[in-house]
Amino acid sequence: MSFQILGTGSAHPACTQTNDDLSVFLDTSDEWISTRTGIKSRFVCTTETLADLAAEAGRRAMENAGVRAEELDLIVCATVRGDYITPALACVVQKMLGATCPAFDINGACSGFVYALDVADGYFARGRVRKVLVIAAEEMSKLLDWEDRSTCVLFGDGAGAAVLGEGEGLRSIRITTDGNTDALRIPHVRGNSPFDRTEAEESFLFMDGQEVYKFAVNAMCTDVRAVLEDAGLTEADVDYVLPHQANLRIIETAKKKLNIPPERFCVNISRYGNTSGAGVAILMDELNRKGTFQPGDILVLSAFGGGLTTGACVIEWTAL
């Protein structure tokens, strides 16, 4: 027994920052950003906490699924950093939703949503759960150096969620890791230990863009082919590809290497930017609420990020 998706939800901050807004204090322009990334704007937290976004996304997913908080058997949150080191973001969300089930976080970086689906799959396989809420939530605006135009223009804040129930919607799933701190990292906050002799780095995101680009294109193509083969499907069977919304150039390059019609690749990066692990979940919710998916549609999710991690899966959509 695996799972099927019963409902989806998403949430974003109220504040939108366009490329023109950023050019007021950065040496950049709308043309420079949009031609290199496909991003036109992004949402950034001002008064909202990450828990606010995560709980709202979860609440909307539960409403979409017709599932009450007391029915949840598990909450898994994927995030690179919650509002606290402890308690976990999932614990805060559990309280906000009025649930009583176990709750914990995982950190798969931009692959976090697929990693969380893989974790949930294990609970279904063991018969431990009947309803699981998976949330991917990121507040990247607080992890960036806003004087570095090469990175700060890429990211945004947001949360996406899915309620999972027993079923056979998951056809295959694959997660990988290639340990690497050189290509992408965010150093942790420092305490004030008088005994600490390690070299301190500022707690901002660092990314080698070219290295990540090459890794991402290769990982996306490799993973998509692998999960389709494992599911007994071909590229021609795919109805929709939901790729990580990191950079439009990555998606466009992968399109050319895969034998999937280009119109089947879904994007919303122009409005959201890179919301890290939340991106695929937000995209899924947007498409679900537009009525894009039909029962029996084959969806391929593909993500890649810090770790370096990758995650991909094949989901057969069921009637909600």
pLDDT per residue, tens digit, the chain (320 aa), is: 699 999 999 999 999 999 999 999 999 999 999 999 999 999 999 999 999 999 999 999 999 999 999 999 999 999 999 999 999 999 999 999 999 999 999 999 999 999 999 999 999 999 999 999 999 999 999 999 999 999 999 999 999 999 999 999 999 999 999 999 999 999 988 888 889 888 888 889 999 989 999 999 999 999 999 999 999 999 999 999 999 999 999 999 999 999 999 999 999 999 999 999 999 999 999 999 999 999 999 999 999 999 999 999 999 999 66
Which of 101, 274, 288, 313 does the annotation list as catalytic? 274
* Strand boundaries in 107-143, DSSP class E: 131-139
pLDDT given for residue 102 in this prediction = 98
Asked if residues 77 and 119 have their Cβ atoms less than 8 Å apart, the reply is no
- Is the CATH number 3.20.20.80 carried by domain 2-169? no
Judge contact between 119 and 139, C-beta under 8 A: no
Q: Which helix (H) or strand (E) holds 281?
A: helix 279-289
| HSE, side-chain direction, 13 A CA sphere, residue 42 | 31
Domain with CATH 3.40.47.10 in the chain: 2-169, 172-316
In this structure, the number of other CB atoms found within 10 A of the CB of residue 118 comes to: 18
Alpha carbon 237 to its chain's center: 24
Q: Which residues pair with 15 in a beta bridge?
A: 44
Nearest alpha carbon to residue 57 among 143, 147, 157: 157
Q: Locate tokens 């009025």: which residue?
A: 98
Give every CB contact of residue 268 below 8 A, 6+ residues apart in sequence: 245, 282, 283, 286
Write down the pLDDT at residue 190: 83
Q: Is 12 a catalytic residue?
A: no
Which of 77, 110, 152, 313 does the annotation list as catalytic?
110
Q: Which residues contact 300 (CB under 8 A, 6 or more apart)?
A: 224, 227, 228, 238, 240, 241, 242, 312, 313, 314, 315
Q: How confident is the model at residue 319, as a pLDDT?
A: 66
172-316 to CATH, choices 3.40.47.10, 3.20.20.70, 3.40.140.10, 3.20.20.10: 3.40.47.10
Q: Which amino acid is at 307?
A: G
Provide Rg for the chain, Cα atoms.
19
Which residue out of 12, 64, 244, 288 is catalytically annotated? Answer: 244
Q: What is the pLDDT of residue 189?
A: 85
Nearest-10 Cα torsion for 70, 74, 75, 77: 180
| Active-site residue, 180 included | no
* Calculated CA dihedral for residues 24, 203, 247, 306, nearest 10 degrees: 180
Q: Phi and psi at residue 168, in whole multiples of 5°?
A: -120, 30
Query: By three-state DSSP, how is residue 316 classified?
Result: strand
Q: What is the DSSP secondary structure assignment for residue 189, as one 8-state letter?
A: P
Closest CA to 246 of 152, 135, 181, 154: 154
In whole angstroms, give the CA distance from residue 61 to residue 162: 6
